[in-house]
Amino acid sequence: MSLDPIYYAISWILLRWHSFWDAIGIPEERVIGTNWAWILAIFCLVVTLRVILFPVFVKQIKSQRAMQALQPKVKALQEKHKGDRETLQKEMMELYRTEKANPLMGCLPMFLQIPVFFGLFHVLQHLDPNISDANKQLYGWPLDQFNSAAHAHLFNAPISAKFGSSAAELSVLGANGTTVKVVAGILVLVMMATTFLTQRQMILKTGWAEDPQQLMIQRLMLYGIPFSLLISGALFPIGVVIYWVTNNLFTLAQQQWVLRKFPPPQMANKGGSAGRVAPGTKVSGGKNPVQPARTGGLFGRKNTPEPASPVVDTKALAPKPGAKPVNPKKGARPANKPKG
């Protein structure tokens, strides 16, 4: 399947935004070693795509909540059909259909952005100033804007260069290898950190899954993806890393807004009884069957422990054998004796 339509679409959005920033007076020449019109064009590419995908993102949040609420029923089915995998799968699919929950919806926004990521990767790799004029005009690029983008920099590092660019590639771009590695390395670290925070924010707000498969996916998303970027980030052009970091920052802000607009279901009473179970409720493993979502914003907030009641030694307070009884009202003014 050809990705040319995606290349054309990404190029068209970048060119339109670059023309907009150029029209309002953003200079073409470098300011602080940066061609800001192209950096802002990449930023606005992210904004454009996230606005388009916003309804899908809201569906993702709702689906994750539905999956979380269904965990007790899923566990009950697993216990009921233990050893009968085929029946279990049928029952779970019927449960998801009845409750209108889709386990794949949680990954849909990421899957939809994968073609965009590879499309931008290809477009930026195509920004080679030494190719023929005919090739420069592929995907609808005018010659003047192609040459401008091919020489666009971020802090004196070309946006088409990579941390792992060879000396020959850097020579073609007229770039300094040390500068490229410093800028690209810092951006890759920021990309890893923002990716981790994005996943952590979602888990803190929706809660850890009880289902082992869902829990494994959550841990993979939280730790596996950021760690993989340490290696794969060296292969990304600086412009792609800018796109990824901007996308993460936009996601953090978007998630915060959506999670306030559609707050997690309250799993506990307002009186601080989070995690408590009604008497007589059967709980496997001593845990609440549905974990309450944690609160506290991006970095979470630890629950304040209740003050411990002092331990009273009742044996020490009991009277010793043979001791005289102590009048608790000793020292009080005696009542008048009746006359007579």
The DSSP bridge partners found for residue 247 are none
Q: What is the pLDDT of residue 38?
A: 94
Q: What is the pLDDT of residue 107?
A: 65
Q: What is the pLDDT of residue 55?
A: 80
Number of residues in the chain: 340
pLDDT digits (tens, 9 = 90+) for 289-313: 334 444 444 444 444 444 454 554 5
pLDDT tops 80 at residue 37: yes
Tokens of 249: 């920052």
pLDDT tops 70 at residue 252: yes
Residue type, 138: L
Helices (H), 126-237: 133-136, 143-150, 167-173, 177-206, 212-219, 225-232
Could you report how far apart the first and last alpha carbons of the chain are, in Å?
Answer: 117
Mean pLDDT value across the chain: 76
The DSSP bridge partners found for residue 237 are 162
Place of tokens 């306030």: 260
Radius of gyration of the chain (CA): 31
Residues 6 or more apart in contact with residue 238 via CB below 8 angstroms: 154, 157, 158, 159, 160, 161, 162, 180, 183, 184, 187
pTM score of the predicted model: 0.66
As a whole number of angstroms, the distance between CA 44 and CA 28 comes to: 17
Strands (E), the chain: 153-154, 157-158
